[in-house]
Chains A and B, each alone.
Chain A
Amino acid sequence: MSDVEEAITRAHHEEWARVVAALTRRFGDLDVAEEAAAEAFATAVERWPADRVPPNPGAWLTTTANRKAIDRIRRENKRDDKHKEAQLVYDNTPPEPLGAIDDDRLRLIFTCCHPALAMQARVALTLRMLGGLTVPEIARAFLMRETTLEQRITRAKAKIKAARIPYRVPAAEDLPARVSGVLTVLFLVFNEGYLATGPDTDPVRHDLTTEAIRLTRLIRALLPDDGEVAGLLALMLLTEARRPARVSASGELVTLDEQDRGAWDATLIAEGHRLVRERLAAAAAGVVPGRYQILAAINAVHTSARDIRDTDWSQVVALYDQLVHLDSSPIVALNRAIAVAELDGPEVALAAVDRLEDKLAGYHAYHATRADLLRRLGQSQQSRAAYDKAIELAGNTAETANLTRRRDQLR
């Protein structure tokens, strides 16, 4: 990659959200902001190789995008209201007074992740408006047709406008719930990347996990005092750190007990552990940790252990006990049972897993867990049946390969 190309890529990563956010506030229109930002970057691609990279790329992009937006509004207004044009172009009204955090990108995040929008629309809007991913890129990531995705984004933008979804950081009393909504969107993007579904996709979608981490880092920078933001970032980093060891050369998923821990990314682990320690200190001072912080702590126990036997399983189970109080979902109970198997043996764990049948019979991990526990208890026939069921339900190619091999090893 040439220096100029690199500068453009970097500017795109660092400045896209800022440009879109600033334009949205100035022009009050996501459509105008998005198009003008895209045009500004296209102009950069055209000009920078010949004119050299400007000393302040962010300022250059904002100025160019502003001009493009005004051009567009002028063009459109030639057809209708002259008076409106003057208002828009010469709008010097000061920004609304804000709370502690004054960053347009934060407004953009809360608007894109607004609870009145459908979850898929929130994901698509966040990746487009904040992440700067193109429509084809997002469509590919979620195995959707481009036209379907384009419609979804258009409809969401139309609703934001028609229903007047505000471009504003929520009031302090609403902030925890709204931040939690934003984190749900980011975690969903990360998980789709980490355990991608679909027969033709890579088992791990590095582009999606990287994007989710990048956006979570941004929110962490904007909301440094939010424990759950720190928790989610730590959780993502500690999970991403294990990615190099997660899929074998032959494309098979490698479970935690068999992973080559030397291949884990030490830098990401160190950063994740730092965040977990920060949250542990807060918890010691009396702050009650939320679910992402607890999940991050569980992951930190794993990433601190030299191997599966060295893992502090009583600590893992204790953390799951804490999590069960916050989140009574059967999936949490299933993961707790997996840890219990290491502490109290597979028999105790199997009894706990079997109690979840009503709720999890359609979930591949339920059957995969049962299969593993039954195998360890020497019940080969039942184990094989459970593997069959898990393989039938699993959507990830690497996971299917792992389950198939384990099943075929049974006698």
Chain B
Amino acid sequence: MQYLVSVIDDKSNPGSTDRQPAISAFNERLIAEGYWVFAGGLADTDAATVIDNRGEQAVFSDGPFVESKEYLAGVWVWEAPDLDVALKLATEASKVCDRKIEVRPFL
């Protein structure tokens, strides 16, 4: 079972910026224990572009699809046998990243 694990930051109350060494160590462990599928940090939401090509022609708009105080700062994809395993890892991940984490199963 694969889970999308989103790291959520808060513009008005951002998490600390010195987490990279701890995150790298955590990633090493995810790989060693077989949970790691993919990981990536994301550039600021200002760098996002939304494309809507449902109509006659494609419309590009600057910025993220939804403006909010809280935003997606990075993602993991984990392979885990069930939600309890994923939640346990996510509990650690939240400490490691100093940010909120959302766990969502893939179909």
Contacts and interface: CB of A to CB of B under 8 A. Distances in A.
B82 interface: yes
Interface string B63-107: 000000000000000000111100100000000000000011101
Interface residues of A, number: 11
Contacts of B105: 162-164
Contacts of B104: 163
**Interface class of chain B by DSSP:** mixed
A164 B86 CA distance: 10
A165 B107 contact: no
A330 interface: no
A97 to B, nearest CB: 15
A162 B107 contact: yes
Interface string B10-53: 00000000000000000000000000000000000000000000
Nearest to B104: A163
B101 to A, nearest CB: 13
A164 B107 contact: no
Nearest to B1: A164
Q: Identify the interface centre among A114, A164, A168, A170: most chain B CB within 10 Å of its CB.
A: A164
**Interface class of chain A by DSSP:** loop
A368 to B, nearest CB: 38
Contacts of A166: 81-84
Contacts of A287: none
A170 B105 CA distance: 20
Contacts of B87: 115-116
Interface string A87-123: 0000000000000000000000000001110000000
A162 B83 CA distance: 10
Contacts of A116: 83, 87
B103 to A, nearest CB: 8
Interface in A146-163: 162-163
Nearest to A170: B84
A11 to B, nearest CB: 33
B6 to A, nearest CB: 14
Contact of B82 (A115, A164, A174): A164
Interface string A155-188: 0000000111110101000100000000000000
A163 B83 contact: yes
Nearest to B87: A116
A168 B82 CA distance: 10
A328 B84 CA distance: 29
Contacts of A163: 83, 103-105
Contacts of A164: 1, 81-83, 105
Nearest to B107: A162
Contacts of A168: 82, 84
Contacts of B84: 165-166, 168, 170, 174
A166 B83 CA distance: 7
Contacts of B82: 164-166, 168
A100 to B, nearest CB: 19
B3 to A, nearest CB: 8
Contacts of A174: 84
A63 to B, nearest CB: 30
Contacts of A162: 105, 107
A116 B104 CA distance: 11
Contacts of B81: 164, 166
A115 to B, nearest CB: 8
A239 B3 CA distance: 45
A159 to B, nearest CB: 9
A179 to B, nearest CB: 15
Contacts of B103: 163
A397 to B, nearest CB: 41
A116 B87 CA distance: 9
A164 B3 CA distance: 10
B28 to A, nearest CB: 23
A162 to B, nearest CB: 5
22 contacts: A114-B83, A115-B87, A116-B83, A116-B87, A162-B105, A162-B107, A163-B83, A163-B103, A163-B104, A164-B1, A164-B81, A164-B83, A164-B105, A165-B82, A165-B83, A165-B84, A166-B81, A166-B83, A166-B84, A168-B82, A168-B84, A174-B84
Given A162-B105, A164-B81, 4 more contacts: A116-B87, A163-B104, A164-B105, A168-B82
Interface of B: 1, 81-84, 87, 103-105, 107
Interface of A: 114-116, 162-166, 168, 170, 174
A-B residue pairs, 10 tightest by C-beta:
A166-B82, A163-B105, A164-B82, A163-B83, A165-B83, A164-B1, A166-B84, A164-B83, A162-B105, A116-B83
